[in-house]
């Protein structure tokens, strides 16, 4: 949290001290109750994490957490998990931390849209996010069915750390293997790297791997 506090003090551009009411149902099943801090409009960052059941040929989403750069938070659990496919580790470590108020995956997808909808150019960050990103994108269908403003790429905190010589990242304190707790830690790890390499903190992800498909689809 110290690195994140330093980033807010010295690294973020033009924080506007404006608070507006947040309706927890408008942006997801759970949102930060403190209200939204409106930042100057640039590429809003979101740190994401998921819990999932990994098995051949598919990734079964359990839960998803997002932390926005302006302090908002989103968390939802899937009601469609096939627990018969879960490993003993997942049953013992992940499942006990759930609050058992699940939503259909399609409903989660619409809630995420509402949570991110006001941001014209969202930038997503994860930690080893390959599987997280697949599970996240499948909330909307295939890759070409992502919400219009969403990039087809999630940036990786670990890859950024490797570029910087692999410094030791902050230790995670408290809950682990919980999507929202891990998303918060991913933000803190990112903030630590931002103190080492401020320019890297503003990298963006935009565009599509298959631009011709998007053009055909929108025609």
pLDDT in tens, 165-219: 999 999 999 999 999 999 999 999 999 999 999 999 999 876 666 665 554 444 3
The residue that leads in pLDDT, 148 or 10, is 148
The pLDDT of residue 206 is 66
The pLDDT of residue 139 is 96
The pLDDT of residue 43 is 83
Least confident of 14-28, 47-61, 63-77, 143-157: 14-28
Sheet containing 123-126: which strands, arranged edge to edge?
73-77, 58-68, 45-55, 123-126, 155-156
The pLDDT of residue 144 is 83
CA distances from 206 to 11, 111, 121, 148, 151 (A): 22, 22, 8, 11, 5
- Domains detected in the chain: 2-201 (3.30.420.10)
Average pLDDT, the chain: 82
Other Cβ atoms within 10 Å of 43 Cβ, number: 16
The pLDDT of residue 120 is 84
pLDDT class of 1 with cuts at 50, 70, 90: low
The pLDDT of residue 34 is 40
- The 3 state secondary structure assigned to the chain is CHHHHHHHHHHCCCEEEEEECCCHHHHCCCCCCCCEEEECCCCCEEEEEEEEEEECCEEEEEEEEEEECCCCEEEEEECCCCHHHCCHHHHHHCHHHCCCCCECHHHHHHHHHHHHCCCCCCEEEECCCHHHHHHHHCCCCCHHHCCCCCCCCCEEHHHHHHHCCCCCCCCCCCCCCCHHHHHHHHHHHHHHHHHHCHHHHHCCCCCCCCHHHHHHHHC
pLDDT class of 103 with cuts at 50, 70, 90: very high
**Per residue in 136-152, pLDDT tens?**
999 999 888 888 789 99
The pLDDT of residue 126 is 98
pLDDT class of 54 with cuts at 50, 70, 90: very high
Residues 6+ apart with CB under 8 A from 189: 127, 157, 161, 169, 170
Nearest CA to 184 out of 37, 202, 152, 176 is that of 176
Q: Is the pLDDT of residue 62 over 60?
A: yes
Whole-structure pTM value? 0.79
Q: Report d(CA 38, CA 28) in Å as an integer.
A: 18
Q: What percentage of the chain exceeds 70 in pLDDT?
A: 74
CA distances from 41 to 37, 38, 139, 218 (A): 12, 8, 26, 27
The pLDDT of residue 4 is 52
């Amino acid at each position: 949290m110290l690195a994140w506090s330093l980033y807010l003090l010295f690294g973020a551009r033009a924080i506007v001290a404006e608070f507006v009411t947040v309706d927890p149902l408008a942006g997801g099943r759970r949102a930060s109750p403190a209200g939204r801090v409106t930042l100057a409009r640039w590429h809003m960052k979101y740190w994401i994490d998921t819990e999932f059941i990994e098995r051949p040929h598919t990734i079964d989403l359990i839960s998803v957490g997002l932390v926005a750069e302006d302090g908002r938070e989103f968390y939802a659990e899937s009601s469609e998990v096939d627990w018969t496919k879960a490993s003993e580790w997942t049953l013992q470590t992940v499942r006990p931390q759930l609050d058992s108020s699940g939503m259909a995956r399609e409903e989660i997808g619409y809630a995420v849209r509402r949570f991110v909808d006001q941001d014209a150019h969202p930038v997503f960050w994860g930690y080893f996010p390959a599987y997280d990103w697949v599970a996240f994108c499948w909330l909307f269908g295939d890759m070409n069915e992502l919400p219009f403003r969403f990039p087809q790429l999630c940036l990786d905190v670990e890859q950024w750390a490797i570029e910087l010589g692999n410094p030791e990242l902050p230790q995670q304190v408290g809950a682990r293997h919980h999507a929202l707790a891990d998303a918060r830690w991913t933000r803190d790890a990112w903030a630590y790297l931002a103190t080492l390499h401020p320019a890297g903190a503003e990298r963006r992800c935009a565009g599509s791997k298959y631009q011709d498909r998007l053009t055909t689809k929108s025609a």
